[in-house]
Structure 1
């Protein structure tokens, strides 16, 4: 199957069993502490996440895959370049994984082809494919099948590929030989914990999603808490900081697919330009992109927060300050109260730095 998987753009394939009972206590504890925030679906599905045979009756094995997503033209010093974006407050930062095509679409289509190929070779096969789209403990299944180990930031790490990859699964109703898990190799390193801008990583392997910038800018649909706004900086969709400082990501692999190449306008764009996007412009730039799921209003909310943070910076050039102030003024009359609130907050800092 490894050969078939690579033909379809996957980096590795593994097989896990369906007994995840040892992960249930940790899942319940995480939910009971409210660390999932507004993601009610996490609690709604409960232990189905840890019980593949309940989610898809008849499942006896889970095939796991990973797919690298660094754009093909990524330079060697990409981590330094990405960290440098944080020092340019007039620019909006979109997480690396979201600058190209929606990974759900890419993986689902290729997982389906892989499953079809398996059915031809194995014979009658009942299966269902997933990629971050159902109550599935993806990282747990991936680690059990040898794709890598859980880093202290809770993401999966691989010695040959770091953490910049997507995961997918095929639940099948035939018993396949399980692949062996690998040892963890984080050692005493805690770079990811120290780098988290909001201290969302409370301890190794313990994440409070409510403090995570990826959660706040993507999953959270209401006002961003006032105390969290200054910590977001100029990150407008997701956050890569814990991955950028991880030593293992010096081995991160470029994708073999054009799907994850960065789209024009999603890397290095001026915040003032992004706030001026009409809904039609937003929909045009995010067609087939994972960003579209947050909608135009939340996009404007995120950009407004980044603008407020930029306006607080004494190093912001007068031309950028003026462009932001004008853009924010144009959005004051936006019909959505969510946008209005964050625009008004950002405007508070228009004249705080002379």
Structure 2
């Protein structure tokens, strides 16, 4: 019998006929849902829907308002915060318009609940069946905890904007919320890849991250962080031209509030950094892709090249269209796909020790 057909026998558990490939497929399905919620999160942000639901109700909040009286109650709660009082209210928001933004925030939270169930229920089933290979239980529990943290960070993000002074959420909490989702996505891909390798070789050990992959991940992380801050501060609107900003290579920046504050808050500087650090990320990804091709994995190289190429084009289009909704959403979606492609490529390099 081949190694791929061997059964898994965790300590203290009865023999299981479930192969690691089944767990890998489950994790890929969860990864697809995480990619979806990143895209829906982009729509929620771009439609200014994130503050439309002012309470976090894990169970009863799964259902939207079912009566006009309930809708009116929710609308009145929204009218107490700064976003309504300073932005939406003066623009004459109606109840029907409120229902539109409520839908996107509700749908975003609903997908989060679905992801929790799609991860937790199969995890419990695989656990009871004794199908989880030795050493993988802590990693799967860590991924489950990351999902829980993601929900908590999402509420902290919303809560940061629920007062009469703020008209938006904190861009710091937004970046934590988004980057946790992307880190979880990478972890799901990596763990699923490890399980696929284990399915072919029952003696395989978990793959380690190489130096090249770690450097690439750090560079990509900085780019994603800058992108999250740009989104949170609406800094995409700082310029509608490319490659110049305000007719200049480097825009006018006010440093009166100090270097650190300007680096983390100034929309013009952050926009400029995001558009040019992208090329540092591209260089790192090209080096990784070439290493993959040299190692004999041309498909992974193509995936990475395609992802960052489309991402760059969408980023430029987002700027030149003054953050057109669906182009900006596509930019965020492909960003998530780029993270997945990078995690996949890093795993392949780790297998080869490159």
TM-score category of the 2 structures, normalised to the smaller one:
under 0.3
- Structure whose residues are more often strand by fraction: 1
TM-score (norm 2): 0.22
- Structure whose residues are more often helix by fraction: 2
> Which has the greater radius of gyration?
2
